[in-house]
Amino acid sequence: MNILILAETHHGTFRKSALEAATYARKIASTVSGKVLALTYGIEADHAASLGEYGVDEVLLLSGEPDPLGLTEAMAHAVKEKNIDLAVLAYNIVGRHVAPRLSARLEAGLISGAIELPQWQNGTMLVRKNVFSGKAIATVECSTPLKILAFAPNSTQPEKSPVHTAVVSYAPPLPVSRIHKVEVREKKGEVSLPDAEIVVSAGRGLKGPENWGIVEDLARALGAATACSRPVADVGWRPHHEHVGQTGLTIRPNLYIAIGISGAIQHLAGVNQSKVIVVINKDPEAPFFKAADYGIVGDAFEVVPKITEAVRKLKAST
Amino acid sequence: MLTEQFLLLGASFLPMNILVCLSKVPDTTSKISFTDNNTRFNTQGVQFILNPSDEWYALVRAIEIKESLGKGSVAAVMVGGAEDDSLLRKAVAIGADTLYRINAQPQDAYSVARMLADFIKGQSFDLVMTGRETIDYNGGEVPAMLAELLGWELVSPVNKLDIIDGKVRIESELGALTEVLECDLPLVVSAAKGLADQRIPNMWGIRNSRLAVIHVIEPSPVAPLTRIVKFDLPPAKGQVKMIPADQPELLVKLLHEEAKVI
Ligand SMILES: Cc1cc2nc3c(=O)[nH]c(=O)nc-3n(C[C@H](O)[C@H](O)[C@H](O)COP(=O)(O)OP(=O)(O)OC[C@H]3O[C@@H](n4cnc5c(N)ncnc54)[C@H](O)[C@@H]3O)c2cc1C
């Protein structure tokens, strides 16, 4: 079985999702035997070869930095030319465009948000994914000749598994999107929330936007992204893209620290897949403690700066 | 090329016809359980709602656009059975003009997208709006599949959307990046937080919704590409470890040494 991954890059290096995809594909290939190919772009050929360390046999290097429409076309092209049976990509911002487009174009079954490696039963792929906002796990099957597996970001850690790799330039004709980018605003130094490993999040308990300094300090000390509860984004204390929960973003970081958030069911729905949850709340009855791994009952304004201090000490000593 | 230019020009003086795709989902507070040996979602006692991002963001923004342009129409469509009609009517209560129900039970994202695309191809919508993701199967796959099947462009997620001189101006928040985009019609967008605020139907709207006609579309059958074979409940969470408020170093130590996450 031949597997094709999409290896995303950013400023000339591989994104973590690229290494996750390679690891994922290599593990699958080792159980079913086959080649792992990667489609990539925006990176020097000798850098691109580093995917070999994560088990990629052949790297197809596109010129330029194609948009999702172009990446879909390139993936579809490679699938046919290289006899691909399975496409693997992260279900992130780009993957959310490319995976469903590829599925619809090639009538290939797509299982998105996979949280584990697939199982195989006579050519049928079975994959587990979270559904009902983390309140249940579904096992989904797919038996189309070409299959697409889009895994939940951060559901696997990059692992090395070196193989000999070849980098070839790949230049199928690609369409160009007619969408015109007028402006791109980048918040410098901010960690992107959807794929952050650590997230520091705060709610109405912080009383007002002027108090977010303690949250940002802790986030900075941890190298974390910041998030917030819905009412906080609704009243404009924080930007909309920080809203996590059932009606905002669903995230699954390794560590989620919730400060002054009560833990309403709709909030939990977006964060309950985090590996470790820390809750800081002055109300010992706050429902969030039931979903937490570690809890502190206390006033955020006193506790959080002390935690930041302790983190800084730890970082300085390690 | 000619049609493209016509569309571009046309959009500035022709009324905008917007279609909003709505999905039915269990209420956010629903207890989730399964029947038939954990192969089917147990709908017993479950209250259904319109998917929040479809309703609050996509539908409300569509209505606001129509109101601000003073022309055009907003249609809403749902793939569902007759039992979903009352829920679909809520779209009129909020301000939609026309309702369509594609008469089928949703099976997977692909079959839903195909039925929607087949329907849209026979109509003349300029803008198709969906929510970013449903809160039941959390796939978020329909918008891009729909764009692909229609051969249209997609913007996702859409946090701000305005029509300026027949062009669509969009802000899309991608983590620490915000892109400002200018797009031609036709277009598929997937609506997310910030686009609009929830609207509570007024008496007038509720009255209208009772009288609204639902156009029932019989789709050509589409075979799904994937199937759910089993549901499980997530493993129960262990006991929370409480740490005294005056020992923040202990928390940091445990996160480092025990949980190994920092
Ligand atoms: C359909 C629907 C969808 C929703 N979707 C979402 C969603 O996606 N995301 C979301 O977050 N919410 C969502 N909600 C809202 C949700 O129900 C809650 O209202 C919301 O999460 C509460 O936000 P909060 O915890 O910040 O505020 P509150 O509930 O007001 O909680 C504030 C907490 O701060 C604590 N506190 C106060 N002062 C301090 C202090 N000095 N130090 C420490 N702690 C302090 C309090 O004890 C309290 O627990 C949704 C609701 C509905 C009906």
Mean pLDDT by 10 residues, chain A (318 residues): 97 95 96 93 97 98 95 98 98 96 98 96 96 94 98 92 97 93 88 91 98 98 97 94 92 96 96 96 98 98 98 94
Separation CA A127–CA B113 (nearest Å): 22
Taking the C-alpha atoms of residue A315 and residue A72, their distance in angstroms, rounded to an integer, is 42
* Residue B219 CB partners (closer than 8 Å, separation 6+): B79, B102, B103, B104, B115, B118, B119
- B146 to A103, A264, B111, B119, B187: CA distances (angstroms): 11, 33, 10, 11, 10
DSSP 8-state secondary structure symbol assigned to residue A189: T
Q: Do A147 and A268 belong to one domain?
A: no
Q: Does B27 touch chain A (CB under 8 A)?
A: no
Residue-wise pLDDT for B29-84, tens only, equals 999 999 999 999 999 999 999 999 999 999 999 999 999 999 899 999 999 999 99
Confirm if B130 and B143 have CB atoms less than 8 A apart: yes
Bridge partners of B41?
A: B34
The reply to whether A114 falls in a domain is yes
Domain C-terminal end among A169, A184, A211:
A169
Is the domain of A248 the same as that of A164? no
Residue B2's pLDDT band (boundaries 50, 70, 90)?
Answer: very low
Compute and round to an integer the Cα radius of gyration of chain A.
21
Asked if A144 and A210 sit in the same domain, the reply is no
Check if A230 has its Cβ closer than 6 Å to any atom of ligand 1. Answer: yes
3-state secondary structure of A185: strand
CB atoms < 10 A from the CB of B46, how many? 14
Q: Where are the domains of chain B?
A: 2-217
pLDDT tens-place string over residues B243-259? 999 999 999 999 999 99
Query: How many angstroms separate the CA of residue A243 from the nearest CA in chain B?
Result: 8
Residue A234 domain boundaries: 198-317
pLDDT digits (tens, 9 = 90+) for A83-105: 999 999 999 999 999 999 999 99
Helix, strand and coil in chain A, % to nearest 5? 35, 30, 35
Q: What is the pTM (predicted TM-score) of this model?
A: 0.93
Do residues A117 and A204 share a domain?
no
State the pLDDT at residue A81: 97
Is residue A170 within 8 A of residue A60, CB to CB? The reply is yes
Q: Is A166 on the interface with B (CB under 8 A)?
A: no
In this prediction, residue A181 carries a pLDDT of 95
Give the H or E element holding residue B93. helix B85-94
Q: Does residue A176 belong to any structural domain of this protein?
A: no
**What is the four-CA torsion angle of B143, B145, B146, B151, rounded to 10 degrees?**
120
Query: What is the spatial distance between Cα B157 and Cα A37, in angstroms, rounded to a whole number?
Result: 29
Q: Is residue A191 part of a domain?
A: no
A231 CB less than 6 Å from ligand 1? yes
Same domain? For A206 and A150 the reply is no
A141: which chain B residues are within 8 Å (Cβ-Cβ)? 226-229
**Confidence category of residue B197, pLDDT binned at 50, 70, 90:** very high
- If you search the block for the tokens 């928040």, which residue do you land on? B173
- Which tens digits make up the pLDDT trace of B113-166? 999 999 999 999 999 999 999 999 989 999 999 999 999 999 999 999 999 887
Kindly state the tokens that stand for A116. Answer: 């584990």
> A259 in contact with B at a CB cutoff of 8 Å?
no
Q: Identify which of A263, A251, A249 has the alpha carbon closest to the alpha carbon of residue A292.
A: A263
A203 lies in the same domain as A123 = no
DSSP code of residue B150 = H
For the stretch A125-182, pLDDT in tens is 999 999 998 899 999 999 999 999 999 988 889 999 999 999 999 999 999 889 999 9
Are A242 and A100 part of one and the same domain? no
Kindly state whether residues A243 and A138 are assigned to the same domain: no
What amino acid occupies position B67? E
Please indicate whether, in this complex, the C-beta atoms of B251 and A182 are within 8 angstroms of each other: no
Note whether A19 contacts B: Cβ–Cβ < 8 A.
Answer: no
Check whether B1 has a pLDDT greater than 60: no
For ligand 1, atom 38, which residue shows the shortest CA distance? A205
> What is the per-residue pLDDT for A159?
97
Q: Which two tokens stand for residue B222?
A: 């589409």
Residue B14: which residues within 8 A CB-CB, separation 6 or more? none
Strand partners, B181: A181, B170
A42 shares its domain with A87: yes
Residue ranges of A 171-230 with Cβ closer than 8 A to chain B = 177-187, 190-195, 197-198, 222, 225
At residue B7, what are phi and psi to the nearest 5 degrees? -60, -45
C-alpha A4, offset from chain centre = 18
B175 in Cβ contact with A92 (< 8 Å)? no
**Nearest residue to A219 via CA among A264, A259, A268, A270:** A259
Task: Check which CATH number belongs to the domain holding A96 and give it.
Answer: 3.40.50.620
Residue B14: its pLDDT value, please?
Answer: 64
In a domain, A180, yes or no: no
Which of B:61-100 have CB within 8 Å of A? Answer: none
Could you tell me which residues come within 8 angstroms of residue B2 by beta carbon, excluding any fewer than 6 positions away? none
Chain A contact for B160 (CB, 8 A cutoff): no
pLDDT (average), residues B78-91: 98
User: At A256, which CATH number?
Assistant: 3.40.50.1220
C-alpha torsion angle, residues A92, A268, B258, A154 (rounded to 10): -10
**Residue A96 within any structural domain of the chain:** yes
Question: What is the model's pLDDT at position A37?
Answer: 98
- B159 closest CA partner among A113, A248, A191: A248
CATH 3.50.30.30 fits B2-217, yes or no: no
Last residue of a domain, one of A129, A154, A169: A169
Paired with A183 in beta bridges are: B180
State the maximum Cα–Cα separation within chain A, in Å, rounded to a whole number. 61
Say whether B205 sits in a helix, a strand or coil.
Answer: helix
At residue B178, does pLDDT exceed 90? Answer: yes
Strand partners, A129: A114, A138
A211 lines ligand 1 (CB under 6 A): no
In a domain, A185, yes or no: no
CA distance B136 to B114: 20
Q: Which residue of B has its CA nearest to A97?
A: B144
Alpha-carbon distance values, B163 to A178, A179, B12, B66, B67 (Å): 17, 14, 9, 10, 12
Question: Which residues of chain A are within 8 Å of residue B197 when distances are taken between CB atoms?
Answer: 234
Regarding whether A114 and A26 lie in a shared domain, the answer is yes
Are B109 and A185 inside 8 Å of each other by CB? Answer: no
**A175 prior amide bond cis, ω within 30:** no
Residues A202 and A299 in one domain: yes
- Tell me, yes or no, whether A95 lies in a domain: yes
Tokens of A222: 């941890």
Q: Which residues contact A11 (CB under 8 A, 6 or more apart)?
A: none
DSSP B195: S
A63 lines ligand 1 (CB under 6 A): no
Phi, psi of A284 (to 5 degrees): -65, -20
Q: In a 3-state reduction of DSSP, which class is residue A47?
A: helix
A154 belongs to a structural domain: yes
